[in-house]
Structure 1
Amino acid sequence: MLRRTILLFLMGMALIFVILYLVDPMRVWDEMQNLSVKFLMIILSIQILIMLLSAIKWRVILMNSSVSIKDIIPATLVGYLVNNITPFGLAGGEPVRAYILSRACGIRLSRAASSVIVDLFLEIFPIFALILISITLIILGGEAESIAIILGLVGFGLFILSAGIITLTTDKNLILIITKKLLNLLERIPLMRSYSKKKMMDVNGVSVRFESAMREYMGNVRVLVLGTFVSIIGWVLKFLRIYLIFIAIGYRISITSLIIVETLVLALSFIPILPGALGTWEGSSIALFMLFGVDSVIATTVTIIDRFFFYVFPSILGIIASLYCGVNLSKIIK
C-alpha cells in the first residue's frame, strides 16, 4: 500500500506541476503577491474555525458518551491527514480517527466507528442541498447542461450512500456485512491489524454493538439537528474561504459560478482516485472556473492558495497530532 500511495501521490504532484507549467508559474506567483497579510490571517482563521467545527460536530454526535473535545480534536486532525495521503476519496481517515478516539477515550470501537459513519452522513446531507441549488442555478442561468447531468449523477450516488447509512439502523444482515468489511479494511492497516483480527473472532458481538450505536445516534433528533446545523455552518465557511481568496487577489467572481464549481469539484472529490484528490481537484477546479469565464492564471492562483489552506495546513497539523497521539504513520500507509 505504501508504494501505491507514494506512486499515486507523485502522479498527483506531477499533474499539478503540468498545470502550473501550462498556465505560467511566474504569472501565478505574481498574482499570489496580491494576497495581503490581513486577508491571509482572515482566511487562516476561517480554516481553523472549519476544523474546530468538524470536531464539535463529532462531539455533538457523541454527546451521550464520556468523550472530551481535547481527544476529539487531535483524532480529527489525524483524520484530515490520512484523508490527504490515502487514495480513498475524502473518507479514508474515518476508520483511523475512530480507532484513535476509541483508544484515547476507552470507548468501544463499534461506538466510535458508528459515530464517524453518522458524522459522514451529516457531512453529506448538506451536499444534497448544494447540488439541488447548483442544478437550479444552471437551469435558470442557461449554463452547460452537461454539468447539471454530472451533478445529478453524483447526487444520486450520494443518495444511495446516505440510504445505505440509514438502512444500517434496521437491516441486521447488512450491518453484519458492513462490520466484516470494516474489520477487513482495518486489517489492511498495519496499525490496526492485530486489533481487527481479534475483533473478527467476535464479529457477531461487534455487529450487535455497532447496530445499537447506530440506532442511538440516528434516532436522536437533537444529534441530527445540531449536527446538521454545525455541518451547514462549516460548508458556508468553506465557500466564504475561497470567495475571500478571489477578493484578496482583486477578482470579483459571481456567487453563482462559485457555488456551481465548488459543489461539482467537492462531489467529484469523493471518488477515490488520487490521495486527497491531489491533482484532480486542482485540474477540475481550474477547468470549471475557466468554463465560467475566469482567467486561467486567476483560477490557478485561487485554487493553489485554497488548497494550501485546506490541504497543506491541515496535513501539517495532522502530523503534529499524530505525534501527540503516538500514531506511527508508516503503519497506516504501509
Structure 2
Amino acid sequence: MLALLLYLASVLIYAVRWVIVLQRAGVRLRLWDSMAAYLASILVNNITPSARAGGELMRILYAYVKTGAPLVKLLNTVAFERICESIPVIALAVVSIAEALLSGDRPLGVFLGFALIVIATIVGVKYWDRILAVAAKRLGFDDQLDTEASVRRLISDRGLFATTIALSALVWVFDVLRLYAAALAVGWEAPLLRFALASVMYLVVGILAITPGGLGIVEGGLTAVFVALGAEPSVALALVMIERLISYGFASLIGLLVVVIGGGPQAWTLLKSRWRRTGFTPR
C-alpha cells in the first residue's frame, strides 16, 4: 500500500510540475486535467512499443484537446521538463554508482547500462533542439517551430528552472522509496542507494524495451538488476512483480478509465490520425 501511495504521489507531482511550466508558457491547464493527461500517457506507454514517445504525444494531445494551445508550445514545455529532469537523473546515478563502488560491489552490467543512459542523456540535452525539430517535422506540426528560443526562455527563468528540477528530483526520490518499500514487503533489506541505482536502470530497461509496455523485457531486466545488487532470484522476481502490478497493472487500469471518461477519446483519435498521416507509428 505504501508503494502504491508513493506511485500516486509521483503522478500528482508530475501533474503539478507540468501545470506550473504551462502557466509560465502562457497555457492554463487544470491540475486534474494535467494528472489525467499523465495517466492517459502511461496507458499509451503500457500498450504500445513506443519507448515512452507515444505517451508524451498522448499527453500533449490531451492538453491540446483541453486548452486549444498550439501543439508546438505544448511540445516545448515537455522538452523543458526533460532537460530539467536529466539533472537529478544523472546526479542520482552518479551517487548510487559511487556507493556501489565504495562498498566493493562491481556489477559490470549495471555500470555499463548506467554509462549508456548517461551518454544518451547528455546527447539528448545537448542536441534537444535538433531532436525536437525532427520529431515535429515527422509529426506534421504546422506551427512555426521556434523550439530553441521558446525553451531557452523557459530555462532563463531561474525560479521556474529551479522549481522544475526540485519537483523532478522529488519524483525520483519517491521512485526509490517505492522500490525500497516493495523490497521490504518481500523481506529484502539493502542500502537505500542500491534502489537508487535500480531506479535509474529501470529507466534504461524501459527505454530499450521494444515490446508493448516493455512486457517481458522489463521484468527480466529489472530482476537481473536486483540479483546483481544482491537479492536472491526468487526475492528479486517477487519485488519486480509488485512493482509491475502497480506501475503497469494499476496504472493502465486508471489510465483506461481516464481515456474512457475524460478527454482521452479525442486525444487518442488525434494521436492515431497523426501516426497514420505521417507514417510515424508506435512501431
Structure 1 length normalisation: TM-score? 0.73
Q: Which residue of 1 aligns with 2:169?
A: 232
- 1:157 aligned to 2:95? no
Query: 1:122/1:275 Cα in 2 relative to 1: closer, same or farther (>3 Å)?
Result: farther
Match of 2:250 in 1: 313
> Is the CA contact 1:126–1:232 (under 8 Å) kept in the aligned structure 2?
yes
Q: Which residue of 2 aligns with 1:55?
A: 15
The 1:309/1:182 distance shift into structure 2, 3 A limit, reads same
Counterpart of 1:88 in 2: which secondary structure? coil
Structure 1 residues 102 and 306: CA distance shift in structure 2, 3 A = same
Q: 2:40 touches 2:264 (CA, 8 Å); kept in 1?
A: no
Report the alpha carbon displacement of residue 282 of structure 1 after superposing the two structures with TM. 1.0
Mapped partners of 1:54, 1:91: distance in 2: 17
Q: Is 2:67 the counterpart of 1:129?
A: no
Q: What root-mean-square deviation, in Å, do the aligned CA atoms of Structure 1 and Structure 2 show? A: 2.2
Q: Whole-Å Cα distance in 1 between the matches of residues 68 and 13 of structure 2?
A: 23
1:252 is aligned, of 153, 165, 189, to 189
Alignment gaps of 5+ in structure 2 = 273-280
Contact 1:134 1:263 in 2 (8 A): no
Q: What displacement does 1:102 show?
A: 1.6
Deviations 1:137-182 (A, max 9, x none): 23212222623233123211111111122xx3xxxxx4xx743532
How far apart are residue 211 of structure 1 and its match? 4.0
Matched residue, 1:102: 64
* CA distances 1:4-37 after superposition (whole Å, capped 9, x unpaired): xxxxxxxxxxxxxxxxxxxxxxxxxxxxxxxxxx
* Cα 1:318/1:63, change in 2 over 3 Å: same
Deviation at 1:219, TM superposition (A): 2.0
Which consecutive aligned stretches of 4+ in structure 1 deviate over 6 angstroms post-superposition? none
Give me the identity figure in percent.
24
Asked if structure 1 preserves the Cα contact closer than 8 Å seen for 2:209 and 2:218, the reply is no
Q: How does 1:34-45 map to 2 (within 5 A)?
A: 40=1, 42-45=2-5
Q: Is the 8 A contact 1:75 1:97 kept in 2?
A: yes
Is the Cα contact below 8 Å between 1:83 and 1:92 reproduced in 2?
yes
Q: Which one-letter code corresponds to 1:105 in the other structure?
A: T
Q: Deviations over 1:72-127 (max 9, x none)?
A: 12111111111222222234311221122022112111111111111222233211
TM-score by length of 2: 0.86
| Matches for 1:1-334 after TM superposition, within 5 Å | 40=1, 42-64=2-24, 65=26, 66-144=28-106, 146=108, 147-165=110-128, 168=129, 174=130, 178-184=132-138, 186=139, 196=140, 199-200=141-142, 205-208=143-146, 210-323=147-260, 324-327=262-265, 329=268, 332=272
Deviation for aligned residue 1:183: 3.9
Number of residue-to-residue matches in the alignment: 268
Give 3-state SS (helix, strand or coil) of 2:240's partner.
Answer: helix
Contact 1:262–1:285 (CA under 8 A) maintained in structure 2? no
Q: Which one has the largest radius of gyration?
A: 1
